[in-house]
Structure 1
Amino acid sequence: MLARDGTEEAAGNAANRMTVRQMGFAYPQTMSGHWNAKRPEFSQIVNAASLAMPYLEPYLIRTMRLARAQIRDEALRRELDSYVSQEASHYRQHRKFNEELKARGYRSIEKLEAKIDASYKRIEASGSLASNLAYAEGFESMALAIGEMLIEDRDFLFGESESGVASLVLWHFVEEIEHKNVAYDVFEHVAGNYFRRVGGFLHAATHIFLLTRAGYRELLKEDGLWRNLRSRLALARLLIRIFWKLTPKLVRILVPGYSPRQVADPAWALAWARLFTKDGEAAGRLDTTRLDQREPVPHAARTTA
């Protein structure tokens, strides 16, 4: 059933909705780091965010597994296990993509990865389980907001881009929407507190945004675009557009009584899940010339490397 704003309420709980999917994304040898040729700045923002995933998501997994021992609700334990499986798939796929970026000659990536790795080790070692759960819940609330924004603006951000990368990112955030309740429920079960929750969100959002900015700055420097006036203006316009759409979705997280259950699932995300059920390969090779459709459309044939 569609709501007035084009979203669709999903039936059932998170355990019924979460699916652990085996995906295959193709990246042609001719693909550059600017996999969206129209929007090289957006390409590098996404590339920079991808660099964090092989370190962020294992940290989330370890945190949730530590919390599992304190959960007595069997249904929530099953949801946590499904969440962990989805997140493990995410970081493995991003690691593969990041290796593709390295193969295209970006020398700054290894240093950026080392800094990201060290930052998550510090957060994990210095924080209590409660504070790490707050970070995890804060990240997942932010990821839900980002997923909504990316899906709403998918044609502008991913239109006519390389199918493999667009499919990777949109798949990832469809699954972030699927497991939107889990980190919140675990946090509330183990360490629930409004001020701790908001503090975790602010910590996670600030940390991720700073890591991402450092990453795209270095990547754009390697491209020779960081000091290019036209590119910097394009980047500024892009960031204004992104945060104009994203900020209201982030602000709601600060409201007392916020729950991700209040956020209806985008109809396109649910349509993607139906496409995967019918044809798993098709869901990994979206036709990026037709992302304005209400339902995802696959390419007729897989792009070859």
Structure 2
Amino acid sequence: MTATTAAADNRMTVRQVEFAYPATMRGHWNPGKPEFSHIVNAGSLAMPYLEPYLIKTMRAARPLVRDATLQADLDSYIRQEATHYKQHRVFNDELKARGYRAIEAIEARLAREYGELESTRSLEFNLAYAEGFESMALAVGEMLIEDREYLFGNSESGVASLVLWHFVEEIEHKNVAFDVFEHVHGNYFRRVHGLLYAITHIFLLTRGNYQALLKEDGLWRNWRSRVTLLLLIGRIFRKLTPKLLRILVPGYNPRQVGDPPWASLWVKLFARDRSALRLDTRRLDAAEPIPLAAPPPAGTP
């Protein structure tokens, strides 16, 4: 346990943003990568259950936090995470509207899993899980941004923007769960256990979710789709594993991880122009985010 905390980074901004999805959007919002579409869909379905669990965990820890700066960071973290799960709930409702019957069972399992963690596990365990998730989210965010053209190129802009913006804000609050855990229960072995448990738990839940969605689409038993999925997962883990391994190093601190320049540029661009939230997914190879141009007014030649 640490008595004091580093000064606030003044990094976090709580933004009220909305993402729009066209009526023509399909569950395979990246037509060229239906397998990746459902991996992301599977993760999105978890957010209205995972993130309230994180919020409740942080609220339970707040009375134990004696540092005013960390209290302020914790409060901003909670507000940011609240916007995230609400944004994902809107997208998840869009998936339901596309007729995916598997979603009802998926959501029931997620509610049960995170309800049990909240009600049966100690605050120490839940804080370690929260820190493990946030450290993993930092690594995933870096990976998605680095590989954005391959994963999101030519996909539906609303979904790509939702996912990438979510992880930009995960990067923005990367240190908060770590700081709270260290302040309240700081211990290397507890931290590593929380990381390994969170990674395993989330990956198994996500696998079950995307498997159910792929089955409903008839892709799970298609050998070409299965090979594509395995190659995609191999690519993701090849890029993600080094970023996860650094978390295991004693003395790890998320502040040691620099922010991706692309993410920082997008935040600055959005601060000047809110329409910059919607990305042009045909131009994700650019070094900086390119907003999707607004369509010309009706009747414009």
Band the TM-score falls in, shorter-chain normalisation: over 0.9
In the TM superposition, what is the alpha-carbon distance from 1:26 to its structure 2 partner?
A: 1.1
In the TM superposition, what is the alpha-carbon distance from 1:17 to its structure 2 partner?
A: 1.2
Say if 2:262 and 2:287, in contact at 8 Å, map to a contact too: yes
Say if 1:14 and 1:182, in contact at 8 Å, map to a contact too: no
Deviation sequence 1:100-147 (CA, Å, 0-9, x none)? 000001000011001011000111111111110000000000000000
Hey, what does 1:186 align to over in structure 2?
Answer: 180
Aligned length: 291
In the TM superposition, what is the alpha-carbon distance from 1:258 to its structure 2 partner?
A: 0.8
Hey, what does 1:129 align to over in structure 2?
Answer: 123
Structure 1 segments of 4+ aligned residues over 3 angstroms from their partners? 12-15
The reply on whether 1:140 has 2:134 as its aligned counterpart is: yes
Higher RCO (CA 8 Å, separation ≥ 6 residues): 1
Q: Any idea what SS the aligned residue of 1:106 has?
A: coil
* Structure 2 residue corresponding to 1:78, chosen from 44, 50, 72: 72
In the TM superposition, what is the alpha-carbon distance from 1:302 to its structure 2 partner?
A: 6.8
For residues 116 and 200 of structure 2, the distance between their equivalents in structure 1, rounded to whole angstroms, comes to 15
Unaligned runs of 5+ in 1: 1-11
Q: Kindly report the root-mean-square deviation, in angstroms, between the aligned alpha carbons of the 2 structures.
A: 1.3
Say if 1:272 and 1:295, in contact at 8 Å, map to a contact too: yes
Structure 1 window deviating more from structure 2 (122-131 vs 101-110): it is 122-131
TM-score (norm 1): 0.94
The reply on whether 1:47 has 2:6 as its aligned counterpart is: no
Over the matched positions of the two proteins, sequence identity in percent amounts to 70
Say if 2:128 and 2:193, in contact at 8 Å, map to a contact too: yes
Q: Any idea what SS the aligned residue of 1:264 has?
A: coil
In the TM superposition, what is the alpha-carbon distance from 1:281 to its structure 2 partner?
A: 2.5
Structure 1 window deviating more from structure 2 (293-302 vs 231-240): it is 293-302
Hey, what does 1:172 align to over in structure 2?
Answer: 166
Hey, what does 2:264 align to over in structure 1?
Answer: 270
Hey, what does 1:89 align to over in structure 2?
Answer: 83
Cα distance change of structure 1 residues 171 and 302 upon mapping to structure 2, 3 Å threshold: farther
Deviation sequence 1:227-249 (CA, Å, 0-9, x none)? 00110010011000000000000
* Structure 1 residue corresponding to 2:281, chosen from 288, 291, 299: 288
TM-score (norm 2): 0.95
Deviation sequence 1:133-169 (CA, Å, 0-9, x none)? 0000000000000000000000000000000000000
For residues 126 and 218 of structure 2, the distance between their equivalents in structure 1, rounded to whole angstroms, comes to 38
In the TM superposition, what is the alpha-carbon distance from 1:294 to its structure 2 partner?
A: 1.0
Say if 2:8 and 2:69, in contact at 8 Å, map to a contact too: no
Cα distance change of structure 1 residues 237 and 66 upon mapping to structure 2, 3 Å threshold: same
Q: Any idea what SS the aligned residue of 2:281 has?
A: coil
Say if 2:8 and 2:70, in contact at 8 Å, map to a contact too: no
Q: Which runs of structure 2 are paired with 1:62-73 in the superposition (5 Å)? A: 62-73=56-67
The reply on whether 1:300 has 2:296 as its aligned counterpart is: no
Say if 1:35 and 1:161, in contact at 8 Å, map to a contact too: yes
Hey, what does 2:92 align to over in structure 1?
Answer: 98
Say if 1:23 and 1:281, in contact at 8 Å, map to a contact too: no
Say if 1:124 and 1:132, in contact at 8 Å, map to a contact too: yes
For residues 302 and 218 of structure 1, the distance between their equivalents in structure 2, rounded to whole angstroms, comes to 37
Cα distance change of structure 1 residues 14 and 113 upon mapping to structure 2, 3 Å threshold: farther
For residues 132 and 189 of structure 1, the distance between their equivalents in structure 2, rounded to whole angstroms, comes to 14
Cα distance change of structure 1 residues 286 and 13 upon mapping to structure 2, 3 Å threshold: farther
Hey, what does 1:5 align to over in structure 2?
Answer: none
Unaligned runs of 5+ in 2: 1-5, 297-301
